[in-house]
Amino acid sequence: MAAAVRSMMVPLIIAAFAVSSCSRMPAYGKAPLNGGGDVAISVGSIREKVPKFYSFDLGGQRIDFFVVRVNGQIQSYFDACAMCYPKKLGYRVEGGEIVCRACNLTYTAGDLKTGKGSCHPIPLDGRVENGFYIITRDAISAGSKYF
């Protein structure tokens, strides 16, 4: 009996390790919401050239995105590359630059809007309203195919 249990445990341990080691995506804080279910980030908390990553729960599907201020203007992007999104790795910040986790292409905050070739973050519509940067649930839902 003990041998049978041990023989079943080995595949389970290997499977658990494989699943946990494949996840290279960090856990981000939950996006702050307003009363209507839209994202509402205080404009004062968005720093110049320093991306801040958030997660949004869309009916059980985790949608990651980031916001950043560039030359005083707030921009938002899905944490997904237009070219590399099928790998579902997103971006990381390293040495003050934004780096695609899949192909290691590096951007400055000023490069985000134009990208570099086919590798660039996917824009996420948002607007400033009453001291908050608002991203609607519908805007986030429109990008769910990348996650």
pLDDT at 133: 98
pLDDT at position 9 is 41
Give pLDDT, residue 48.
96
Structure tokens at 83: 């070219």
pTM for the model stands at: 0.82
Residue 89 has pLDDT above 60, yes or no: yes
pLDDT at 5 over 80: no
Per-position DSSP letters for the chain, written without gaps between them: -HHHHHHHHHHHHHHHHHHHHH--PPPPEEPPB-TTSSEEEEGGG--BT--EEEEEEETTEEEEEEEEEETTEEEEEEEEETTTGGG---EEEETTEEEETTT--EE-GGGTTT-BTTB-EEE---EEETTEEEE-HHHHHHTGGG-
The full set of domains in the chain, from first to last, is: 26-146 (2.102.10)
How do beta strands 106-107 and 121-123 pair? Answer: unpaired
